Chain A
């Protein structure tokens, strides 16, 4: 079997048995200087975001922006519709006042922020996507079950098919395999 050329390789994957094993392996991979790698787990492994230095997720900001946008636009809508376009006298109260706008705009804040958090999550994760090179790997199906998989991308500056494989072996990875790039 001839080794595929570097362009065709998406990365190298290795399998681990427990959250602790993948966490320790991830620490070592990070210390070895790799940057383009990822861990695939059936549930979030606590501490992994620290090891991968993911920082704070931006989802909260997307949510805040959409929530604030929805809030302000409903305040504007109420001013426009009940005070400007068709001034409406209700109970002799002012045409427009801040308290009267609160409830509908607050509810739309919740809706906007909720849509923002879902869209933010999907957008930041680059979902939906129809395919991923890992989906071609039979053993990757176990990553949603009880296995923990690390993938080191071929795009990484330090990536070398032989050296990286050695590293993955040394940190205890099993079933080390080349993931081909489909494009």
Chain B
């Protein structure tokens, strides 16, 4: 026993200095009860004015601009967009990849960081998952209307029909149908299952009958019994593992759509990885854009701490560096292959006058601006991070444009060359999906538990039965 004590003192002596210690998950050392009050306050309180100021324009875009552009296109035909020979994939596919990309960081944060036991992710996981669910919804819409005759979408599903036709399962476009739908369903399940214990918290706190009824139904009779938690934790681990697989699958399949084609600029084996990392990078940008204002507006500064935001910034930097490496490889392989068409396409990404602005935006933002995140000063400056997040979203959008349109508009035969410019219906639909995304997100922030209440409480030292704060007689700071 004496040995153990001296070891403990030895450990205390060797403990790292304060600035090197891991930051606490939640700042301000609130008690479990106070923490519950704080985390559920926003879903229960009066709707603040800023919410309406953000919600009304988003709702206008979602309920007026969005259906107008959508129905006009469906009733008239794909011709209302700028898509035409040879650029048959225009903004619709660019935005599809962009939205799928935004989704990926959410899954990465909520699933992969759960499996690696990063406690800080408990505070931002729910917000990230919601981002995933809503952006996959927006992504899934594009291919469905891009086919031109949206009323034949059911052809894509293996449904027995009077035509006696079946889908062709060797095509990556067919795999996309499965991948995107599965992604939507699994991320929704994961999001919903994570919320069940928090619905129970809101049920138990509710003061009005209507709230009690709604949250009782949503919580499905959750009691928080040890047996419930036992099965729940297992199911959560399994779902997290499956979601992690999806992070690497969905964008890979989107990448396969491109690399199985013969077009110069698409026909490269790096594409699946390229799209996965690009997706994660873009998603981290979106997380920064969403988290930084929301933590302030919802009064969650002690929960989503600056150290968490800085960690997200570090992950953004890591994924940005991988993206930079892939850019380098793409250009290198185009040169090294000696293929004149490849060389032409990649040369024109940066020096062809039609889309060179987007090509340089890609380099300027994704390669140069990202390097700012090396500096601690930038990582702790919220305004700078917010702007960098916005820029990354723009940079990744231009990357997708450069890949899709930049490879299509000048292919093998000069007689076949053309140009693509988005029309107002292309742009209107994009604005509409952005509006729908933010409208859904704001509704989520207002009505659902925006932070995983039980998970954050479980990550506190008060929740550890072997910690002094958890009621144990011995043991203390870890």
Contact = CB atoms under 8 A, between A and B. Distances in A.
A141 interface: yes
A76 B258 CA distance: 28
A103 interface: yes
Interface in A108-131: 108, 110-111, 113-115, 117-118, 120-122, 124-125, 127-131
Given A111-B185, A121-B193, A143 B223 contact: yes
A127 B226 contact: no
Pick the most buried of B182, B455, B462: most chain A CB atoms within 10 A of its CB.
Answer: B182
Interface stretch (B165-173, B279-287, B384-392, B433-441): B165-173
Contacts of B311: none
A103 B224 contact: no
Nearest to A56: B234
B204 A144 contact: yes
B454 A43 contact: yes
A67 to B, nearest CB: 8
Contacts of A121: 193, 231-232, 234-235
Contacts of B164: 85-86
A57 B32 contact: no
Interface in B213-242: 216, 220-235, 238-239, 242
B48 interface: no
Given A46-B465, A88-B166, 4 more contacts: A19-B462, A44-B230, A108-B178, A134-B223
A42 B167 CA distance: 48
Given A100-B169, A107-B178, A41 B249 contact: no
Contacts of A143: 204, 223-224
Contacts of A145: 32-33, 36, 201, 204-205
Q: How many B residues are at the interface, by size bracket?
A: 35 or more
Interface stretch (A3-11, A47-55, A158-166): A47-55
A146 interface: yes
Interface of B: 31-33, 36, 158, 164-170, 172, 174-175, 178-179, 182, 185-186, 189-190, 192-193, 197, 200-201, 203-205, 216, 220-235, 238-239, 242-243, 245-246, 249, 253, 454-455, 457-458, 462-466, 470-473
Nearest to A46: B465
A40 B169 contact: no
A46 B462 CA distance: 12
Contact of A114 (B179, B227, B242): B242
Given A100-B169, A107-B182, A117 B32 contact: no
Contacts of A43: 197, 229, 454-455, 457-458, 463
B334 to A, nearest CB: 26
B235 A104 contact: no
Contacts of A107: 175, 178-179, 182, 249, 253
B467 to A, nearest CB: 8
B270 to A, nearest CB: 18
Given A110-B182, A114-B189, A127 B242 contact: no
A20 B232 contact: no
B273 to A, nearest CB: 16
A65 interface: no
A47 B465 contact: yes
B246 A19 contact: no
B36 A52 contact: no
B238 A63 contact: yes
A125 B227 contact: yes
Contact of A117 (B227, B239, B463): B239
B174 A127 contact: no
15 contacts: A20-B466, A38-B226, A40-B226, A43-B457, A44-B458, A45-B463, A49-B226, A57-B235, A63-B238, A91-B170, A104-B175, A120-B235, A121-B231, A125-B231, A145-B32
A52 B465 CA distance: 15
Nearest to A125: B228
A76 to B, nearest CB: 11
B221 A82 contact: no
Nearest to A70: B182
B465 A20 contact: yes
Nearest to B218: A128
Contacts of B253: 103, 107
Contacts of A45: 226, 229, 463, 465
Interface of A: 17-23, 38-49, 52, 54, 56-60, 63, 77-78, 81-82, 85-86, 88, 90-91, 93, 100-101, 103-104, 106-108, 110-111, 113-115, 117-118, 120-122, 124-125, 127-132, 134, 140-146
B182 A108 contact: yes
A141 B204 contact: yes
Contacts of A124: 231
Given A77-B158, A129-B220, A52 B226 contact: yes
Given A38-B225, A129-B221, A146-B31, A82 B454 contact: no
A99 to B, nearest CB: 10
Pick the most buried of B36, B182, B231, B471: most chain A CB atoms within 10 A of its CB.
Answer: B231
Contacts of B186: 110-111, 114
Contacts of B249: 106-107, 110
A122 B222 CA distance: 10
Nearest to B253: A103
A100 to B, nearest CB: 5
Contacts of A42: 32, 36, 201, 224, 454, 457
Nearest to B37: A145
A104 B201 CA distance: 39
A100 B6 CA distance: 63
Contacts of B204: 140-145
The 6 closest A-B pairs by CB, nearest first: A18-B471, A20-B471, A128-B220, A43-B458, A81-B166, A121-B235
Contacts of A63: 235, 238
